[in-house]
Structure 1
Amino acid sequence: MTRYRRSAAFAVAGLALLVATGCSNGAAAGGEPEVARAASTAGPTTAQERSLLYDAEQELQRRCMTAVGFRFWAVPENPLPEAREFPYAIDDPTWAKKYGYGSLFEERIKRLRDQDPNRTYLRGLPDDRRRAAIAALNGTGREGLRAELPGGVVIGHSATGCRAQAWRTLYGDLSAWYAASTLVNNLNALKQQRVTAHPDFTRTSEKWSACMRANGLSYRSPAQARAEFLGRDEARDTAREVRVAVQEARCARSSGLSAVAQRLDRRYGRELRREHRAEVDLVERLRTDALPRARTVLAR
């Protein structure tokens, strides 16, 4: 059965930050580009080009909000570049020795959110003006843009507002851009589900667990170890976090979990690109076509 839910974008611009954990497979911290970098007919855009498009979207939103009587500050795309994504298990002992599971990033994310000028600005507005500002950025109404994800979940977003206007200016076909880019943005999560469900991943996870037990650490999976240190309110035991994370990384390598995860990640990445070739190609074509417009916007 098809389900409909409203896009999570109906909160005013905040920092989209992740404290990423799991197995390093060369994916960028933002998640989406790994699957999107297909050998499309338009040619894959680079990380630098996607950053340029992001900056142009932010600038267009700023101009639009200013034009309707509100203020808007561009949100940094990657304010914590040292944070890395390990979707299966940490496999870099050097990174783990420095950052553990990344719990320190959670505190920094909170500070960045608290200091976000957009949030500060909104908090200072009267209730009616705050509601108007959010509507100006995100649009109003449930109808407009629609994206169907694998599995039948349907996500919607208003076709009005400054965010949609920025997309329209850059990508032209707003409906096509929203539908295709939203699907592509969600492919990495589907890929990771397929990887962790594969019997080879399950078997090597058991070997990883045995390796951890041999070193005095009882965890069924990297996810269980991660949960001990992330998203918790109590004071951190930094020394233990680093010790467990470093041992996780060593066991991920010695047990073969890292190699298996990377192999399966590449396999399912290719499969998903084939399954959704039309959407991947469309996203890359629209991005490529948008690059001259983005450069013009940022040159003004």
Structure 2
Amino acid sequence: MRRAFSRRPDGIGRHRLTTTVLAGTALLLAVTGYVSAGAPAGEGGAAAPAGTVAATTAVGRSLLHDAEQELQRRCMTAAGFRYWAKPENPLPEARDFPYVVDDAQWAGRYGYGSVLEPRVEALRRQDPNRVYLGGLPLERRHAAVTALNGTTDGQGLRAELPGGAVVGHNGNGCRVTAWRALYGDVAGWYAANTLVGNLGGIRRQRVAAEPEFAAAVRAWSACMREQGFPYRTPREARDAFLGGKGAPDRAREVRVAVREARCAHDSGLAAVAQRLDHHHDRELLREHRTAVERVERLRAAALPRARAVLGR
């Protein structure tokens, strides 16, 4: 793995350790689908707006995750393959700082996260699904991938994203079998959950486009220059230490990251970003209220099924 944190447009320093590789091999655990147009996928997970159905708690979402993984494991076993449940949070130390590092204590320990990259790679290499697949003959490996992700035979699942993108997923396979067992209306679940899951990226783009955010970034940059760190944006600071440009200067990385966090508060950038993020979060959830409510209703209905699957 070469890059620990993904890039974002418009000067956003989205300092998030990429842990998707920890799930297993790209073939076995990737969602088989297509993209026809529009913006790239982002993330959701925010609470529903006032007046809608109640948002599922973090505990509830973890329960659904565990049940989905257990159902996938059972389905793969029935198909003649082994499968190990994907952990929901394989590297708890990883933090998501969408706009600027604002936790000086975390920065003092991890800098921008380069120290975590070897652990990500180790978890990827040691992932039991990856090891298992790698030990299978080619034909058998292909059959395992098909068992999980399904085939293109029959009617697939479809989701239209904000901006016009259309993504799809095969309509069969153990992944879809698990969704159907939990949510019943698998087509409705996939369409709504995929849309809602993309709202986070759109929210960050909207925040970055705000003049107030740009002004706060300039104030942050001035604060950094006063301390001898002439970075124009948080992203520029992060990119100086991440991205596979040789071994980073660990001591300097920590100093810069800690100063970034302090300047985030001293300049007001942290407060501005938080306020704008909350504002656009609420706006997007209102704009897509139908999908948000569908997701929460299906989750609520799925919780008793999840408890039954897990015996909880």
Instruction: Please give the residue correspondences for 1:1-300 in structure 2 after superposition, counting only pairs within 5 Å.
Output: 11-13=27-29, 31-34=43-46, 36-39=47-50, 41-141=52-152, 144-232=156-244, 234-299=246-311
Cα distance in 2, alignment partners of residues 145 and 253 from structure 1: 45
**Alpha-carbon distance in structure 2 between the residues aligned to 1:178 and 1:205:** 37
Cα drift, residue 231 of structure 1: 2.8
What is the Cα deviation at residue 235 of structure 1?
Answer: 1.4
1:42–1:288 contact (8 Å) kept in structure 2: no
**Gap regions ≥5 residues in structure 2:** 1-20, 31-41
Contact between 1:211 and 1:251, CA under 8 Å: does it hold in 2?
yes
Q: Is the 8 A contact 1:40 1:280 kept in 2?
A: no
Q: Unaligned regions of 5+ residues in structure 1, if any?
A: 1-7, 15-29
| Deviation of the 1:268 alpha carbon | 0.1
In structure 2, do the counterparts of structure 1 residues 37 and 101 end up closer, same or farther at CA, with 3 Å as the change threshold? farther
TM-score, reference length from structure 2: 0.85
- 1:102 Cα deviation after fit: 1.3
Q: How many residues align?
A: 277
Q: Percent identity?
A: 62
> Equivalents in 2 of 1:185, 1:105: separation in Å?
26
Deviation at 1:39, TM superposition (A): 3.9
Residue 10 of structure 1, CA deviation = 7.0
User: Structure 2 vs 1, CA of residues 47 and 235 (structure 1 numbering), >3 Å: closer, same or farther?
Assistant: same
Decide whether aligned partners of structure 1 residues 180 and 10 sit closer, same or farther in structure 2, where only a CA change above 3 A counts. Answer: farther
Moved more, 139-148 or 250-259: 139-148
Structure 1 residue 41: Cα displacement: 3.9
C-alpha distance in 1 between matches for 2:44 and 2:204: 12
Aligned-CA RMSD value: 1.9
For residues 145-177 of structure 1, give each alpha carbon's deviation from its aligned partner in whole angstroms, at most 9, with x where no partner exists: 111111111111001100011001000001100
Paired letter, 1:57: E
Partner Cα distance (2:227, 2:128) in 1: 46
**C-alpha distance in 2 between matches for 1:140 and 1:11:** 13
Deviation, 1:13, is 2.5
> Do the aligned residues in 2 keep the contact of 1:183 with 1:279 (CA within 8 Å)?
yes
Q: Hey, what's the Cα distance between the residues in 1 that align with 2:179 and 2:27?
A: 17
Would you say the 8 A contact 1:40–1:284 is kept in 2?
A: no
TM-score when scaled to structure 1? 0.88
CA offsets per residue over residues 214-257 of structure 1, 9 Å max, x none?
11111110011111222325212111110110011111111111
Aligned residues of 1:40 and 1:281 also touching (Cα < 8 A): no
Provide the C-alpha distance between the structure 2 equivalents of 1:186 and 1:231, rounded to a whole number of angstroms. 25
1:81 is paired with a residue of what secondary structure? coil
Encode CA deviations 1:245-300: one digit per residue, 9 max, x unaligned: 00111111111111110110010001001000000010000000000000000019
Counterpart in the other structure of 1:18: none
AA partner of residue 282 (structure 2): R
Question: Helix, strand or coil: the match of 2:27?
Answer: coil
Superposition misfits of 4+ residues, deviation over 2 angstroms: 8-11, 36-42
Give the conservation status (yes or no) of the 8 Å contact 2:151–2:172: yes
Structure 2 CA distance for partners of 1:256 and 1:216, relative to 1, 3 Å: same
Instruction: Report the 3-state secondary structure (helix = DSSP H, G, I; strand = E; otherwise coil) of the residue aligned with 2:132.
Output: helix
